[in-house]
Every structure is written in C-alpha cells, then in structure tokens.
Chains A and B, each alone.
Chain A
C-alpha cells in the first residue's frame, strides 16, 4: 500500500458508477451506518453525506432531490424539504442550525469509493 496522503483515509468501495442514478442519490451501507451518495452528472461531481436527516432523524437523504443554491450543491430531504449543503453539510434553511456529516468520494474506473478519515484496516478495500 502506498501511503502518500497526509491524513490517513480509509476508502470504502461503495458501488459501480452505473448503480447510481444520474443527478440522484443512493444509500450505501457502511458497517452499521448509512451513507447517502450523490452524483451530479451535469458537473460530473460526486458527494457523500450521512443518510440521516437530523431534523426528524429519518434515514432519507439519499432519496432526496439534489440541486444547487447559488451554485452550491445541496440535497433536500424528502420529508420536510430541509436542504443541506453537500460541501460543508450545513442546513441551508434560515433559522435552522442542524448540520450533516460529509465524506470524501473518489472514482476509479467504474468504481465509486467513499473516504472515511482515520485508519481503519478491517475494511474490504483500502487504497491510499
């Protein structure tokens, strides 16, 4: 393994590119947690966040509509349309102070990986 990245990141193989609908999201099972993975075809960008919407604690963000506000990519929870930035996870609705976690995503060939900070060697695929 080649460790030339300053922070140690565990890359988890999430799925194939074609598994994710264009301009939409899917839910990825990572250990006991759920990660929402989104693909913006138009910008060819990938984002990953927690799947749990903090507003009513519903596992639903991956089923939300994605889009942008002033160019900043975001997702809207299907339950009450709370919107969250996919860049820093903050809630973009006024007067709301909940936020969500965001994760790194990388694509190699046809495979999509989600990055988790901190060494974690018991995962099936680790790249560095």
Chain B
C-alpha cells in the first residue's frame, strides 16, 4: 500500500511514527512532501529558538530517521497538483507519485487581518523557523515592538520580542480580553497585570486600522484614531488552514477555510484524509497539537482496518506564557445558570483560579487558572473522569493555598485506570503503571521512552512521576532515597559509612563513597553529617564551599545579597547591657532590627565584608553565634516561669538556658527548636517545637516531634513527670537518634510520621533502650557537646577565614555597589527584587 503525505509538520510526522509502530512496515510505502526545508520540528517550543536552540534541537527526528524507516522525504518541495482520478500527485519541482491513500497534513498559515500597510518592511508573521530568522536579523535595529494578537500565539510572539531584546513592546488585542478562547475576563486582568510588570504594554479592545510608514513601518493607527510608534510588528492573530491544494482538487472546504472531514478524517474523497490544523471536523478547526495527534491516530487505525473515530477533542491546555502559568480546562466559561462558579483571586500575588461545579455539587465542569497552575493535572483528571468532588469543592483549588503543591501520590491512586494522563500522546494511567510494573521503568525518562508520555508539551511529567513512585511502592519496591547522581546511598547509610571510615571532609567523602564533582544536592547533607559526627569548625578542610551560602558565610542571605545577623540569646533572657550593645552595633552598621519568633533579635542588611567586624563587637560583648543560618539548634523558647510568674511551677527560664547551652551548635538534618513552659498554661508554645518541656507538679513532661510552619503538628508525649537529669538524658538520646536516622531536610515531625511504629517505637528506643544503643547515643552526644566552639569567634580570630568575607576578590575593600535599600518606618528594607 502506497501512502503519500503532504506536509511534514508535527502532525504529519506523528502520523508516520504511529503508522510505523502499529502496522507492519513491509505493507506500506511512505512518501512525504514538505514545503519547508527543515524536517518536521517542534513548533510549540519555537520560541526556544531565541534562547539558543537550533533547528536540529527542535526537530522531531533527524533526516536519517526517515531514511532508516524506509520513508522517502522530499523537503522544500510542495505538491502543486492532485489528480484524484488517476491517484497521482505532482510536486512543484516536477516529481510525480502515485498513491493508494493520500494524507493532507498541510497545517495552517498565519491569519493576517486585512489591515492596509501589512506588506511594509518590519512587519512579520510568527510561524516558521524562517520567520524567526528574519525577525532575529531585523530586531537588531528595532527598538519599539508591537504584536497584533493577544491570544496564545500572540503572547508567544511577545515572548520572542522580549528575547530579541525589544522590551518596549505593545500587545494589541481586538477582543476585550487576552486569550479570549481560554480564559475569562477576570483571569485576563490578572494575566495582564502580570505581563505589565514585565514591561509589556497591553491594549485590549483595540482595532488596528492602518500600519503607518512609507517603505518600512513607523507606527500603527487604531480605530479610535490614537496611534503608537512602532518599528517592528509581528502579526499573530490566529491561524488560517492551508486548504489551497484541497480546494484546487475539488475537495469540499468550509466557508471560512478548512478541509471538511468525517469522523474517520476522510475528506469528500474516501482515499484522501486530512489531519491536523488543516482539517475541519464538525465545523471545528483544532489549533492544538494533541487533537492533531489524535487525528493521526484515527487515520492509522482506519488504514489498518481498526475501528476508530474522531469525536472531537478536549481543548484543555496549560502553558507557561512569559513565565506566567495559564491553564484552562473542560468548559472554562460555563455560565451561572448551568453551574456554581467558585473563584479565588489574589491580586497581589497575581493568582486567579476559577472552577465551574455542576449544580448538584458533584462534578467539575471546567475552569481557569492564572498565575499558579500546579493543580492543573489533577483538576483536569477530576473533570475528564467525572470524579466525585469533595463535600467542599473549593478545597480542590484552595487546599494548596499558596504552597503550589501538586496533588500527592495518594490522589493519583484515586484516578481510574483509563484516565488519560498525557493528552498529547493519549497515554493512560494503566499504560504508565504497566511501564513501571512490567516494563521495569524506574525513572521518568524510562517511562517517556517506553510510553511516549510527557514527550509532547511535558505538562503531565509531575503526574507521571507521582504515578511511577506510587506504582513502585504498591509493588513493594524499595524506593531508595539516594541523595543525587553522585552518591548511591541514603543519608543514613552515608552517616554510618562516614563514621566507619572516619572521613572528615566533603572531598574525602566524595573520593571514598561517591563519584563526579558533587552538587548542591549532596554537598549540604554531607557536610551536615560531618558536623553531626565530629563537630569540627565547619569552614575548614575545604568544607566551606560545600555548604549552602548561609553556612559558608555564617549568616542568612537576604533579598539583595546582604546578610542578617542573629546572636544567641539563650532562653530569650538578656541583660540591659547586652541589649544596648545590639542597639549600638545595629546603629553603627545601619542594620534593620526585628525581634524573631524565637525570642531573639535579628539584624538585617549587613554587607558580607562587615560581618567579621560586626561579630567582633558582639563577641567582645559576650555574645556567641546563634546558628540561625544552620540546620542546627536554633532557640529554646521559654516563658518567664516560677521566678516571677504567680502560676509557675518550676524555673522554666533556667532550664531553657541550660538546654540551649547544651545543644548550641548541634548540626542536624534540619533545624531544631525547643521550648520550656513553667506550667500547663504553656506560654512558651513548647508543643509546637521539636522538643517541648512542660512543668508538672512532680517534674517535667517531655514532648517531642512537634512542628509549627506549613504543616503544624503538636508534639507527642515521650515521658511524664521526669526530673531534669532524666529529661536531658532522654533528649540526648532522642536528638542523636534523629540525627543518625533522618533523611536530609526532614524535620522531627516528618521523621516521626514516616517512622514505622511511630511514637511508641521512639519511646521504646529512647526510654526503654530497646535497641541497646542508649549509651552509645549519649556518648556520641557528649562528644559533640565537648567539641563545641563558637564558629564566629574562630572566624574573627583567624585572618585566613576572615579573608573569605569580601564581595570582590580583587577589590576586598569595596562593597557590592548594586545593593539598594529603601526607607521603611524609620528603618530600612531591601529593595524588592524583580
């Protein structure tokens, strides 16, 4: 069977690929005629051409792919005539080919509205690599840009203008809102204000009446007689199906263009099919790639005598336009008479979410997301699979308020097996799970290769990953939590190995246990392990550069690149003399001061080169590092306790100070906070801390693994009515056990939640010594306590270490000149970043 394809775009290519996988290669001969000189390339990611990608990078497959699959590819040679009687095509360059079946995949061209002057120099369309090349060379001399069209393609073109360096660009849209096919007016307003912060000027409701200039464009005139200056214009106002060859051959085309096809994608000639943007199905042109691929799949199935029809296509889409997430799914515009609409809008953050819920509140009909679209995949699946909504449907957009978390792996398990996860390649949940269970795929890349899921727009990749992890877990596979590509060990394994081999620096660890150069994922946890094991000065032995910036400069980096300084104030108790010193230092170095949540004082806005001098003054006054920059003990908060309080049972301040002094400088997988309250009223909020101690009539109750933060969790009771010595003994064991066994960046609360047996198991280890390691834990802790030194004192006393605290290596006395502050309530703040 001989198949001729006219058009070598994404859909034409996909047709070949699908035919090759589904049919017996020997039964087909494929001949392609393409108008462009490049083999099919990824038009969706065309704008990446400006960030340095080449035509080869964007190509769907290299030229030799066609050859090795027995496909004849004629590029730069469009078909000029079709003889339907004899079933022969004639190409522009004079090639003739007979066919059994002819596939029209001619795509579309840019729709250019009839505006006088659109043939002037400096006016471009945005469609092919050639268009982009012409734009690139012209843009060098252009300053003021404009785009006609505020839809999806128009905003892509606006991104291209920014990439070309023409930041002074107007986007002109005829309709009252941006992206009129995808989002509603409120969503458009948010998108507009986001784009305006990037410097784009947006004109909606604006009709261009003429393009001004003699030979080249100089400006644009609008219907309201206003005008703007422009020296480069891109028209991206929509698409026009390429149906010329079909029309010429007598096939039926729609009144406004498009080759008419039936549900089998057959044109009015049963031997000729049309797919992609040139096809008109039930009055619809589909300008997205996913339905085009689906059409290609339909034709492949028809040719191999499978029964498959095209029954319209969901136009849901998610994209990142100039850095702003925009998504629309299902019926985004369903009116109030058919549904309840729930809207969430945060103008300051530029987030807009709308969902349309059926009248009975059970199903999701559609919606719009602007500014934050992490929940898109889950919402789309909920909508498509008619999954029943939770009792309060708003939870599905408000549940993740602000933290941008995707539905967890638990939520993917609720999806039906035939849920389409990747709509570009129509890959279902069960296909992905099969790739993991039967295909042995254990990485997203392996799944991509096996199923093609995620190879189109890539929007489904987070969900593919969740499904993969979920499937591996259900299969009882041990999902090993390795740090990164440089170490094939979990943190706990590394901790044991480093201890066993007595390794003291990151480089030694990498030499002995890893490979390559390391990276920002493995360096901090390993130096944290080293500190937790040996408690040596963290900036020596080359370990300084293996730390996060905060640890490396022993201060917290803040907006603008300055640092904040937090001296330790154990238990929150401080003398008037020390308060005065903090005030004097802050005044001298012009620092913004604020009381922290941990009962101490933070000084912001310090230049890196001032840090050693600031600390010298603090240390001279008796202060020590507060380790606010480290994954280490922060504060032990206290209420005033029995020394003053009429309700207090014990002296909570003294005990808090004792504990803070004991564990100060202790490096751990994540930060540690403690609290001591003098009575049941719990004024120190100790139950929200990693360890909380609350006075009772008979002694102390010790609670562990509490957390404030994003997932608040009350600490659980470990032991009750214990004396101070026992309390410290249990704390030693508990903290050391946590340090030895937790994953990197895991707070004690999460550590406990993941622990088999939970608090009962930890109590067995810590209180009942079920593992027989209690003594070991205590002596390991004692070693760390004995080795404590104030690391800021060591820096202040060491000229070598001090040398690292400068901004310019070749001008150490100069400060970063780009640092800017703004006044704020008699103090200052960092200038807002972009």
Contact = CB atoms under 8 A, between A and B. Distances in A.
Whether chain B is bound by chain A comes out as yes
Interface of A: 14-15, 19-29, 34, 37, 40-43, 56-60, 63-71, 73-74, 76, 78-79, 81, 83, 88, 90, 94-95, 97, 99
A59 B818 contact: yes
A90 B53 CA distance: 10
Given A60-B561, A99-B52, A26 B519 contact: no
B517 A15 contact: no
A99 B547 CA distance: 24
B553 interface: yes
Interface in B243-278: none
A67 B833 contact: no
Contacts of B296: none
Given A20-B809, A21-B804, A90-B51, 9 more contacts: A23-B546, A60-B561, A67-B519, A67-B523, A68-B486, A70-B485, A71-B516, A78-B550, A83-B520
A40 to B, nearest CB: 6
B828 interface: no
Nearest to A30: B810
A24 B557 contact: no
Contacts of A69: 485, 519
A12 to B, nearest CB: 9
Contact of A28 (B560, B804, B809): B809
A29 B810 contact: yes
Contacts, number: 117
Interface in B787-829: 804, 807-811, 814, 816, 818-819
B349 to A, nearest CB: 16
Nearest to A24: B545
Contacts of A97: 48, 51
Interface residues of B, number: 44
A65 B51 CA distance: 24
A21 B544 CA distance: 9
Contacts of B546: 23, 65
B156 to A, nearest CB: 12
Contact of A63 (B48, B485, B553): B553
A109 to B, nearest CB: 17
Contacts of B561: 58-60
5 contacts: A14-B809, A41-B542, A57-B833, A73-B517, A97-B51
Contact of A68 (B507, B516, B549, B807): B516
Interface string B432-443: 000000000000
Interface string B553-587: 10001011100000000000000000000000000
Nearest to B814: A29
A97 B52 CA distance: 10
B557 A79 contact: yes
Nearest to B808: A29
Contacts of A58: 559-561, 833
A59 B516 CA distance: 28
A25 B549 CA distance: 11
Contacts of A57: 833-834
* B52, B507, B520, B547: most-surrounded residue (chain A CB, <10 A): B520
A40 B516 CA distance: 11
A63 B520 contact: no
A68 B518 contact: yes
A26 B809 contact: yes
A65 B517 contact: no
A22 B807 CA distance: 17
Contacts of B448: none
A65 B518 CA distance: 9
Contacts of A15: 809-810
Contact of A22 (B516, B545, B553): B545
A37 B808 CA distance: 11
A81 B550 CA distance: 13
A15 B48 CA distance: 37
A67 B520 contact: yes
A69 B561 CA distance: 26
Contacts of A88: 52
Given A90-B51, A99-B51, A65 B545 contact: yes
A64 B520 contact: yes
A74 B519 contact: yes
Contacts of B524: 65
* A21, A34, A99: most-surrounded residue (chain B CB, <10 A): A21
Contact of A59 (B544, B811, B816): B816
Contacts of B51: 90, 97, 99
Contacts of A78: 548-550, 557
Contacts of B486: 67-68
Contact of B52 (A71, A76, A90): A90
B525 to A, nearest CB: 12
A64 B510 CA distance: 19
A23 B545 contact: yes
10 A-B pairs closest in CB distance: A24-B545, A67-B519, A78-B549, A76-B520, A26-B809, A68-B517, A65-B520, A29-B808, A56-B833, A67-B518
Contacts of B523: 65, 67
B320 interface: yes
B384 interface: no
B729 interface: no
Contacts of A25: 545
Nearest to B608: A63
Given A42-B517, A73-B517, A60 B542 contact: no
B809 A19 contact: yes
A28 B48 contact: no
Contacts of B516: 67-68, 71
Contacts of A67: 486, 516-520, 522-523
B127 interface: no
B552 interface: yes
Nearest to A69: B519
Nearest to B560: A58
B148 to A, nearest CB: 24
Nearest to B47: A97
B519 A60 contact: no
A37 B809 CA distance: 10
B552 A63 contact: yes
Interface in B511-553: 516-520, 522-524, 542, 544-550, 552-553
Given A43-B517, A90-B52, A64 B549 contact: yes
Contacts of A27: 807-809, 816
Nearest to A96: B323
Contacts of A23: 507, 517-518, 542, 545-546
A97 B160 CA distance: 12
Nearest to B510: A42
A48 B660 CA distance: 43
A108 B516 CA distance: 26
B265 to A, nearest CB: 33
B549 A63 contact: yes
Nearest to A75: B520
Nearest to B518: A67
Contacts of A94: 458, 461
A22 B458 CA distance: 38
B377 to A, nearest CB: 14
A127 to B, nearest CB: 17
Contacts of B833: 56-58
Contacts of B819: 59
Contacts of B461: 94
Interface string B472-490: 0000000000000110000
B549 A29 contact: no
Nearest to A74: B519
* B522, B810, B833: most-surrounded residue (chain A CB, <10 A): B810
Interface string B43-60: 000001001100000000
A20 to B, nearest CB: 7
Contacts of A24: 544-545
Interface string B312-325: 00000000100000
A87 B550 CA distance: 26
A108 B520 CA distance: 30
